């Protein structure tokens, strides 16, 4: 286990959550692939530049599910794909519907509990890469939906993945959603709302009357937004119903695949009290709860810092499960 030690100049959940946005790197080059979904929509996948056809067919493939409003250019996605490329391993970032820079076709989009979508995606990877080790990681929202899938599918998931990891996961959507509505945390919620409202406005242009546009524009919290947009678009009665049914925490006992949880105890998105404890998870689930790190922060080294601790922690864990 490689412990996380943040530099002295960077302490506190807020700093470590905001700072990675200012780590300026050139955009990560990818090879894009589009998959048509069974219901007539599409998702876009961005592959790192390692040829999946090279090697002996036994090289592990790492699949990444991004967080809310994330993409393959999110700092954590770039860092992981670059780390994989440096050691000659293929990696792919799966964009949830509408997150690849192009509006998806259907009224629905993506949400934190869409484990059926993850099931279709991972089963397709398994069919395409038969006999090749597959590992999956999910960040924040992506971590929650991945863990929900693992817990729901139980033993069936072991025939698809050799290992999994969830980073900065909001295990209890209700606890995390209300936590983001308090104090300074509301700054993060407002940042999300800007892009969520922009995306929703485009949806409304394509599908007039899809939801109450005035209520959407007036939403001042993620709860209000989910209540008027996310929940009804995806078959939930409202925000409370969505947050309850989408949470991964009730499903953790069903996880059968070796899985790593990485969370910081000072994460401003995820209250410390909502983190699962050792007695609440199966023995093959490893809990790595750091004192610092914020929300997918984990910046290390002297200023301006590096973001390579997280990908090295993930690859180190996956290497033990091959």
Catalytic residue positions, numbered: 140, 267, 295
Q: Are 109 and 103 in contact (CB under 8 A)?
A: no
End-to-end CA distance of the chain: 17
Q: Are 84 and 93 in contact (CB under 8 A)?
A: no
Cα angle 160, 162, 168 (rounded to 5 degrees) comes to 100
Report how far apart, in Å, the C-alpha atoms of 250 and of each of 10, 59, 113, 269, 274 are: 34, 34, 12, 19, 12
Q: Collapsing DSSP states into helix, strand and coil, what is residue 63?
A: strand
Among 95, 81, 119, which Cα is nearest to 41's? Answer: 95
77/225 Cα distance (integer angstroms): 26
CB atoms within 10 A of CB 54: 10
146/251 Cα distance (integer angstroms): 11
φ and ψ at 254, to 5 degrees?
-90, 0
């Amino acid at each position: 286990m490689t412990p996380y030690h943040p530099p002295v100049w960077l302490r506190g959940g807020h700093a470590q959550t905001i700072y990675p946005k200012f780590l300026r790197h050139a955009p990560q080059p990818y090879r894009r692939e589009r998959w048509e979904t069974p219901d007539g929509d599409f998702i876009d996948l961005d592959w790192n530049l390692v040829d999946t056809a090279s090697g002996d067919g036994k090289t592990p493939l790492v699949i990444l599910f991004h967080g809310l409003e994330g993409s393959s250019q999110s700092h954590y996605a770039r860092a992981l794909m670059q780390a994989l490329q440096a050691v000659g391993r293929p990696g792919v970032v799966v964009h949830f519907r509408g997150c690849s820079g192009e509006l998806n076709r259907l009224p629905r989009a993506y949400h934190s509990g869409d484990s059926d979508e993850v099931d279709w995606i991972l089963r397709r990877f398994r069919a395409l890469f038969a006999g090749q080790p597959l590992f999956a990681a999910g960040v924040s929202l992506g971590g929650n939906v991945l863990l929900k899938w693992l817990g729901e599918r139980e033993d069936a998931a072991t025939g698809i993945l050799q290992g999994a990891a969830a980073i900065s996961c909001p295990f209890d959507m209700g606890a995390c959603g209300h936590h983001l509505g308090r104090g300074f945390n509301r700054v993060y919620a407002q940042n999300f709302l800007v892009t969520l409202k922009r995306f929703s406005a485009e949806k409304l242009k394509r599908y007039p009357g899809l939801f109450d546009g005035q209520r959407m524009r007036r939403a001042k919290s993620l709860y209000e937004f989910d209540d008027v947009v996310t929940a009804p678009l995806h078959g939930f009665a409202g925000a409370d119903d969505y947050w309850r049914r989408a949470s991964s925490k009730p499903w953790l006992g069903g996880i059968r695949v070796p899985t790593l949880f990485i969370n910081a105890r000072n994460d401003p998105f995820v209250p410390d009290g909502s983190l699962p404890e050792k007695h609440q998870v199966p023995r093959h689930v490893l809990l790595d709860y750091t004192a610092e790190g914020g929300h997918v922060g984990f910046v290390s080294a002297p200023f301006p810092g590096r973001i390579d601790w997280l990908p090295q922690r993930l690859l180190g864990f996956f290497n033990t499960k091959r």
